[in-house]
């Protein structure tokens, strides 16, 4: 059976972070199986990837899953959504590597901000987090050349 031309020339690298995120999400919240159809649809569409990101984030907030596990799950879901967009554009592997490194830096950033939150009040730590992520975003945009 031959795949349609639209699907045969497309990469499906986004399936890896979506699968990892579903495994981690299910291990922390058993109700995460309800998000499985959305995760599968997210592999094909950036829109469904963002919908899965929002739904998984709300599920984590509702079940009070935080810490490094929550950050890692959110990072994997967001990585899958971005990689889905790269899959659609047939991007080179260097773009996948840059996005993966940039998003996975959220885990060490979490530990940095956690250690700073003991010294700073909550508002200053939040401002520092926003500044770090904005700087990272603009750095990745500058490196990618967009």
Q: Are residues 40 and 68 in the same domain?
A: yes
57/141: higher pLDDT: 57
Looking at residue 48, what is its pLDDT? 93
Q: Residue 2 falls within a domain, yes or no?
A: no
Do both 30 and 70 map to the same domain?
yes
Q: What is the pTM of this model?
A: 0.78
Output the pLDDT for position 22: 92
pLDDT in tens, 42-101: 998 889 999 999 999 999 999 998 888 988 999 999 999 989 888 888 888 888 888 888
Domain identity same for 44 and 75: yes
Q: Say yes or no to pLDDT of 4 above 60.
A: no
Asked if residue 110 and residue 77 are part of one domain, the reply reads: no
Q: Which residues contact 73 (CB under 8 A, 6 or more apart)?
A: 21, 24, 25, 28, 56, 60, 65
Number of residues that make up the chain: 146
Q: Are residues 111 and 64 in the same domain?
A: no
Q: Is 72 contained in some domain? A: yes
Number of folded domains that form the chain? 2
Confidence of residue 5 (pLDDT cuts 50, 70, 90): low
Residue 20 sits in the same domain as residue 86? yes
Same domain, 141 and 118: yes
In a domain, 100, yes or no: no
Look at residue 113 and tell me if it is in a domain: yes
**Residue 119 belongs to domain spanning:** 105-146
Please report whether residue 117 resides in a domain: yes
Q: State the virtual CA torsion across 108, 113, 114, 117 in degrees, nearest 10.
A: 170
- Mean pLDDT score of the chain: 83
Question: For residues 59 and 129, what is the distance between their CA atoms, to the nearest angstrom?
Answer: 22
């Amino acid at each position: 059976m031959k795949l349609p031309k639209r699907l045969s020339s497309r990469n499906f690298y986004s399936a890896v972070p979506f699968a990892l995120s579903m495994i981690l999400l299910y291990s922390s919240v058993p109700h995460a199986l309800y998000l499985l159809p959305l995760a599968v649809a997210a592999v094909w569409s950036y829109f469904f990837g963002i919908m899965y990101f929002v739904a998984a984030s709300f599920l984590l907030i509702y079940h009070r899953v935080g810490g490094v596990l929550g950050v890692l799950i959110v990072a994997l879901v967001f990585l899958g959504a971005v990689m889905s967009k790269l899959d659609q554009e047939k991007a080179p592997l260097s773009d996948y590597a840059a996005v993966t490194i940039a998003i996975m830096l959220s885990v060490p950033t979490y530990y940095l901000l956690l250690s700073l939150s003991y010294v700073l009040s909550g508002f200053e730590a939040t401002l520092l987090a926003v500044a770090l992520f904005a700087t990272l975003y603009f750095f990745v945009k500058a490196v990618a050349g967009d």
